[in-house]
Amino acid sequence: MKPAAAQKVSAADIFVTFLVIGATSFGGGVVAYLRNALVTKKKWLDDSHFLELMSISNTLPGLNATNMSILAGDRVGGTIGSIAAMVGMCLPGFIFMTVAGILYGEHGDRPLVTAALRGVAAAAVGLLAATWFQIGKKSIKGFYDAFIVLAAVLGVNHFKLSVPVVLLSAGALSIFIHRPAEEHPPEKDSEWIRFLR
């Protein structure tokens, strides 16, 4: 079943639109750029559509920037549109980082470059911490979510568990905690579940 597209847009138009976003969006805030281009300027999607795609994109592995390109490209231009959007989104960054890799190989050992990169790394810590602080403030709701966050952090950093182990175990527990409400409440919850609720 083909998803109903708001309208059919040509692959070339999709490619150019995403290429511009891919070349001008800096610092991980790609979602804001996408909304501005797709909803406000091009009117390919409306806001509820956009939020629906965001929720799919957040639930799956992969980055928001690329997941959103694939989903939005598919909605407005089918399979070809999806590929055009993904390639457009990735191409500028790919060229930028490949050149950065080459330059780093040639000049990375110079003291001046090393000093600059140490400053860049420290700034990146501040930037990423701020981003996750803001996300956390919005989406950690209640004791439970805080417990899962703490468990994941301690699992990786203190108990040295591998990321997939933590992802699967904390993920399963957390999804169970957020499980769908039953139509008829069970006769009795086990003690620890009642404690956790």
Partner 1 sequence: MDQIPAIARVFAYLSLLTIGGGMAAYPEMKSLVVDVHHWLTNAQVIHIYSVGQMAPGPNMMMVAAMGERISGLAGAAVAALAFFVPTGILTFGVGRLWRRLASWPWRASIQQGLAPVAIGLAVAGLVTFGKGSITGWVTAAIGLAVFAATIRTKTNPALLILGGAVVGVIALR
Q: Of these, 180, 186, 191, 197, which contacts partner 1 (CB under 8 A)?
A: 180
Chain mean position to CA 56 = 10
- Contact with partner 1 (CB under 8 A) among 43, 47, 106, 171: 171
C-alpha 93/C-alpha 95 separation (Å) is 5
Contacts with partner 1 in 39-68 (CB under 8 A)?
A: 52-53, 55-67
Count of residues touching partner 1 (by CB under 8 A): 99
- Residue 126 in tokens: 């501040």
Give the distance from CA 71 to its chain's centroid: 13
Lay out the site mask for partner 1 across 120-149 (x = CB under 8 A, - = otherwise).
xxxxxxxxxxxxxxxxx--xx---xxx-xx
Which of the 8 DSSP states describes residue 180? P
- The C-alpha atoms of residue 175 and residue 179 are separated, in whole angstroms, by 6
C-alpha closest to that of 42 among 67, 77, 66: 77
CB of 147 to partner 1, least distance (A): 8
Q: State the nearest-atom distance from the C-beta of 14 to partner 1, in Å.
A: 14
6 is an interface residue for partner 1 by CB under 8 A: no
Using the rule CB under 8 A, which residue among 8, 40, 48, 179 binds partner 1?
179
Q: Does 14 bind partner 1 (CB under 8 A)?
A: no
Residue 38 Cβ, how far from partner 1 at the closest point, in Å? 15
Contact status: 94 vs partner 1 (CB under 8 A): yes
In whole angstroms, give the CA distance from residue 185 to residue 170.
Answer: 25
CB of 17 to partner 1, least distance (A): 13
Buried-exposed string 54-88: b where 16+ CB fall within 10 A, e elsewhere: beebeeeeeebbbbbbbbbbbbbbbeebbbbbbbb
Contact residue for partner 1 among 12, 36, 51, 108 (CB under 8 A):
108
Binds partner 1 by CB under 8 A, chosen from 112, 184, 186, 194: 112
Asked whether position 167 contacts partner 1 by CB under 8 A, the answer is yes
> At 38, is the secondary structure helix, strand, or coil?
helix
State in angstroms the smallest separation of the CB of 139 from partner 1: 5
Token pair belonging to 118: 């140490």
